[in-house]
Amino acid sequence: MSNPMKVVIIGGVAAGPKVAAKVVRLMPDAEVTILEKGSFLSYAGCGLPYYVSGVVKEQKELMCTPVGMVRDAVFFQKVKNIRVMGQTEATKVDPAGKRVQVRGRGDSTESWLDYDKLVLATGGVPVVPPLPNVKLDNIFTLHGVHDAEGIKTVLSQDKARDVVIVGGGLIGLEATEALVEKGCRVTIVEMLPQILGMLDWEIAKLVEQHVESHGVKVLTGTKVESFEGSGRVERVVTDQGKLSADMVILAIGVRPNVKLAQNAGLEIGTTGAIKVDQHMRTSDPDIYAAGDCVECVDLLTAKPCYVPLGSTANKQGRVAANNICGGSDTFPGVLGSTVCKVFDYCVARTGLSEITADKMGYEVVTAMAPAPDKAHFMPAAKPLLLKLVVDKKSRRLLGAQATGPGTGDKRIDVAAMAITAGMTVDQLANADLCYAPPYAPAMDNIITAANVARNKLDGYMVGVSSMEVHRMLADQEDFVFLDVRGPAEYEEVRLPGSTWIPLGALRGRLDELPKDKEIIAFCKISLRGYEAALILRAAGFETVRVMDGGIAMWPFEKESRL
C-alpha cells in the first residue's frame, strides 16, 4: 500500500483553502496541510469595505460558509480533514529536498515540513509608498481583517472626521462609500488624470461626478508627497497643497508576494508575479501556484497580465487541485472582468478599453447605449450607461463597460461570454436573452448597444464622441449642435452652444438649418438624435453626425434651467 500524498499549501485566504478542499474531495487519504502566517482563514477580503461600513455586522460573517459555519482551524480539521497551522510562516522552500521551512509566531526555532506537492498561494501585499512619515498612526491599507479592525476602531472613537484616500481604483472607491456612510468627509487623491484607470475616460468621469454628488472631493492628477503629524497623521502633503486628515487609507493597489518563490529559484513572469502554465504549475513540476501571487494571461491579447481578484483565485485553486490529483484541467486566462458598487452606481467592465484596443492597433468602433435596465414603464427601471468596444475589421466584440444605478453586472457578464466565444456584434445582437418587464427591456441593453455598433459599422450612423464635441465647442468650430429633445426636457437642462428644434418639428423647420455646415444631433440618449440624422440625410444634408450617448453620457458641465 502506497503512502498518502503529502500536499502543503502556503497561504490560507482564498486560493489556498480552495486547493485544500478540492484535493481532499478528490483524494480523501491525502495529507493536506495549510500554512497561514496570519490569524484569519478563508475570509472574504472583498467584503472588508462592507464590514467597515456596517453592512456586514460581524467579523465572523466574512469567514463563514453560506450556512453559517465559521471556517476556522477546527472547521477545516473536523469537516474537511485538513490540517491548519495558523500563525505559522513559511520561511524557505527547498525544491530539491521537497520540504518547507516553517516558524511559528513567537518561536525562535524553525522546523521542516516535507511535501510531495507544494502550492504557493501567498497572495499579494498592499503597495505602501516610501513617503516621509508613512508610518504615522491612523494611516492604513485595507488589505486584511486587521486593517479593517484598525479603521473601525478609529471610526468608533469618532476621531476620523476628515479622511484622505490615496488612490482612485476599486479599493479606494469601495472604501469611500464605507467612510461616507460613517459620516466622514472624504477626499480621494489620484495621481493619474482619472479615477478607475481600467475604464475609458468618459465612463470614469461619469462615476467621478456621481461620487462628487455624494459630497466626496476628487483630486485627479494630484501626487501625494508626504504626511505630517505628531504621532498620528494630521495632514497629507500633495503637489497641489496640503489636506487635513484624521485618517488616511492607502489604496494604491497590490503587488504579488513572490519572495518565497524567488528564493526557491522559481521563474517569475514579466509582470513580477509567479509564472505558471495553464495547469497552474510553476517552473518546478511539483510546485503549483494560484491566486494573487501568480501571473495570468489575457484571453484577448495572449499577453501576460496581473489581475488580482478573489474570483480568479478560487478558479485557479480548483484547477491546481484537479491537476495535483492526476487530472489535466486548465485555466485559460482572464478578461479582467470586474464589478464594484459605488454608492448606488454599478461600475463594471470586461475585455479591452477603447484606449487599450487603439494602442494595440485595432481600428475601433464604439457604441454608447444609455437606456433603462428594465422595461421603461416599470417603476423599478433605472438608467444604465453601456459602452461597447468593437473591432471594425472583424466586427468582434473586444470590450464592454457599464455604469449607472441600473443592473450592469449581467450585461458585462454576457459581454465577457461573447468575447470569450469570439462573437461578433451581429451574433450578439441576436442573442436569445431573457425578457420580462421586471427584468429587462424587450431589446436588452446589450443587444441595443450591439445594434448601435452595427449601425455604425454599416454606415447608417456616423457617431462622434462627447469629448470631440466638447473640444469643437471649446475651439469655436463652425457647426450646428442640434438638440432634438422635447420642450420640457430642454427647459430642465441643456448643453452649451446648442440649437434646439424638437424632433417632431424638424421636418417642418429644415430651412432653418444650413446645408453647408456640419450638424451634430443629440437628445437624451441619442436615439432621437439618430432619427434626426436620418431625416437630415434624406433631406440632402450631407455632413451629419450623432453625438454618442446623448446628454445621459455627457461628462461635462450642463446648463440647468430649473
Mean pLDDT of all residues in 440-448? 97
Mean pLDDT of all residues in 171-188? 92
Q: What residues does each domain of the chain span?
A: 6-43+58-123+255-324, 139-252, 345-457, 463-560
Q: Is residue 247 within 8 Å of residue 235, measured between CB atoms?
A: no
Mean pLDDT of all residues in 331-343? 96
pLDDT range class, residue 562, cuts 50, 70, 90: very low
Distance of alpha carbon 303 from the chain centroid: 19
* Topology annotation, domain 139-252: FAD/NAD(P)-binding domain (3.50.50)
pLDDT for res 198: 95
Residues 6 or more apart whose CB falls under 8 angstroms from that of 215 comprise 180, 185, 186
Residue 357 has pLDDT above 70, yes or no: yes
pLDDT range class, residue 280, cuts 50, 70, 90: very high
Nearest to 187 by CA among 140, 127, 248: 248
Catalytic positions are 46
Residues 6 or more apart whose CB falls under 8 angstroms from that of 361 comprise none
pLDDT in tens, 112-125: 999 999 999 999 99
The DSSP annotation for 429-450 comes to: HT------TTT--SS-HHHHHH
Mean pLDDT of all residues in 318-327? 98
Phi, psi of 453, deg, nearest 5: -60, -40
Residue 273 has pLDDT above 50, yes or no: yes
Distance CA 26, CA 30 (A): 9
Q: Is residue 25 within 8 Å of residue 325, measured between CB atoms?
A: no
- Superfamily of chain region 463-560: Rhodanese-like domain (3.40.250.10)
Greater confidence (66 vs 145) lies with 145
Mean pLDDT of all residues in 252-279? 97
| Secondary structure (3-state) at 317 | helix
pLDDT for res 451: 97
pLDDT for res 72: 62
pLDDT for res 41: 64
Residue 409 has pLDDT above 60, yes or no: yes
Nearest to 555 by CA among 106, 158, 117, 208: 208
Mean pLDDT of all residues in 170-174? 91
Phi, psi of 298, deg, nearest 5: -75, 125
Residue 354 has pLDDT above 50, yes or no: yes
pLDDT for res 68: 61
The residue type at 419: I
pLDDT for res 74: 66
6-43+58-123+255-324 and 139-252, same CATH topology = yes
- Neighbouring C-beta atoms of residue 326, cutoff 10 Å: 9
pLDDT range class, residue 260, cuts 50, 70, 90: very high
Distance CA 355, CA 358 (A): 5
Mean pLDDT of all residues in 240-258? 96
Least confident of 19-33, 148-162, 198-212, 414-428: 148-162
Cβ-count burial 25-43 (b if 16+ within 10 Å, e if not): eebeebbbbbbbbbebbbb
- Superfamily of chain region 6-43+58-123+255-324: FAD/NAD(P)-binding domain (3.50.50.60)
pLDDT range class, residue 75, cuts 50, 70, 90: low
All 3 cell numbers of residue 158?
A: 469618532
| Secondary structure (3-state) at 283 | coil
Residues 6 or more apart whose CB falls under 8 angstroms from that of 285 comprise none
Distance CA 551, CA 529 (A): 11
* Topology annotation, domain 345-457: Enolase-like; domain 1 (3.30.390)
Per cent of the chain over pLDDT 70 is 94
Distance CA 438, CA 378 (A): 7
Residue 132 to residues 129, 197, 244, 516: CA-CA distances in angstroms? 9, 26, 16, 61
Mean pLDDT of the chain: 93
Mean pLDDT of all residues in 131-143? 94
